[in-house]
Structure 1
């Protein structure tokens, strides 16, 4: 049996509850900044694509107006 399995079995026998394993407690705070960075990157990419689409639409309207004038 693995050391974690032995700990779980021992905790059940002693009436204790193992809430989280030690490395998990250290790993969770490392994910929070990574999730924030991913969120910021996605926000910036979405905003940039929206601005690009608006700019393209504006250019197309300007070209259509120019063609209608001729």
Structure 2
């Protein structure tokens, strides 16, 4: 079964286009804590489905646009 993880580069590109250059700006737009975004962007934690959906809504993209398939360990 495939595994997926947040495509941090895709999130950063979308955020930059929207003028959100910091984790705090992304967090405000998405409606989550800055520390949540910081942990996601540094790959220290996996996002919940809710967070991925909120990211997609905030940047007008699909969930699929924010995830990437990785090889199972």
Identify the TM-score tier after normalising by the shorter chain: under 0.3
Higher relative contact order at CA 8 Å, sep ≥6: structure 1 or structure 2?
A: 2
TM-score, normalised with respect to structure 2: 0.25
More helix by share: 1
Higher Rg: 1
TM-score, normalised with respect to structure 1: 0.25
